Structure 1
């Protein structure tokens, strides 16, 4: 017998509200010697996984090591960020062009011309939502 059972969809919407309001990251801490630099999240072009850490690519062209894993980031970044590969999370506002690539993958080219990355086939639905195909 279970008392006060709350529907699952109500719980999920409350979780989403909490995540949006409380847990979203507004800046990324990056170590530089003994100091910790804070980069505004808007300046982040994309994240690249590296073991339990990630590299942060900033719009100025800098590449810095961050203590956060992609899984941690994926759960705490705003809706403006999308996972496009097991190694990459991209900031949609910095994408300049998306081109079809081989085998259902896409090449993502950024405004800053930092680099381009290739999405994985498993995330092609996410890419199609980005370019409004689905």
Structure 2
């Protein structure tokens, strides 16, 4: 199983150090780097990382990087990501834990301490995303696509991509079929598992079917390049996260 992480720090050298250490843990992939308070909040809500590596600052101003990132998230989501605080201050570490952080690592950051923290995370990992369209009791392997009184149960692994069509969503399957559901693309975006990623206002793709990404042409190729779909600048972070996940170290 793979897990995503987001780095929050305004020091240009720190993210490179973290990325280097994570190379020893291939089941973890970086979805992005945030450099300010508002940037951090927006990327957490957009990218929904499993883990957040945060080096807090003592300054509690609105634009500072501090544990206020954690407390402010409670305005928007009930279940926080797994925050790992990295600091040379035991007081800041203690304050962050009180604010809701899951763990902390005291400086200097090294692979041994990071490994311990990641093992704690994996041991307690209980996050799941259900994908039932009818209610919240679906499974994470099959999706129910409802069209009027017709209920079709489709394995998630058979879905290549989803396309928005006004207030409906078309599901394109590996066997060539197209199914239409009377729900918006945004409705499905919130409930699909992490191997589905939005790359355009009109498209969500199954990462497992991606065979090529052309950044120059802004095209994502699926199903052994039989299908090409445009991606937009709005979802550039998602595209970079996909590349990191499929081919770590290539961005």
TM over 0.5: yes
Gaps of 5+ in 1: 1-5
- Shift in Å, 1:29: 1.4
- Shift in Å, 1:86: 0.2
The residue aligned with 1:14 is 79
The residue aligned with 1:97 is 212
Q: What secondary structure is seen at the aligned counterpart in 2 of 1:127?
A: helix
Alpha-carbon separation, structure 1, partners of 2:209 and 2:167: 25
Q: What secondary structure is seen at the aligned counterpart in 2 of 1:39?
A: strand
Residues 14-53 of structure 1: per-residue CA shift (max 9 Å, x gap): 2669xx436334314154x964221111111000001111
The residue aligned with 1:3 is none
Structure 1 or 2, whichever has the larger Rg, is 2
Q: What secondary structure is seen at the aligned counterpart in 2 of 1:131?
A: helix
Alpha-carbon separation, structure 2, partners of 1:54 and 1:16: 29
- Shift in Å, 1:122: 1.1
- Shift in Å, 1:121: 1.4
- Shift in Å, 1:96: 1.1
The answer on 1:45 being equivalent to 2:110 is no
Alpha-carbon separation, structure 1, partners of 2:149 and 2:73: 45
Of 70-79 and 92-101, more deviation after overlay is shown by 92-101
The residue aligned with 1:24 is 131
Q: CA RMSD in A?
A: 2.8
For the structure 1 residues 111 and 71, does the alpha-carbon distance in structure 2 shift closer, same or farther, using more than 3 Å as the test? same
The residue aligned with 2:67 is none
Paired residues of 1:45 and 1:57 also in contact (CA < 8 A) = yes
Gaps of 5+ in 2: 1-69, 83-126, 133-141, 245-249
Q: Which has the higher contact order (CA 8 A, sep 6+)?
A: 1
The answer on 1:118 being equivalent to 2:230 is yes
Alpha-carbon separation, structure 1, partners of 2:211 and 2:146: 26
Q: Which has the higher strand share?
A: 1
Q: What secondary structure is seen at the aligned counterpart in 2 of 1:14?
A: coil
Residues 52-101 of structure 1: per-residue CA shift (max 9 Å, x gap): 11100001111121122111101000011101000000010111111123
The residue aligned with 2:177 is 62
- Shift in Å, 1:131: 0.8
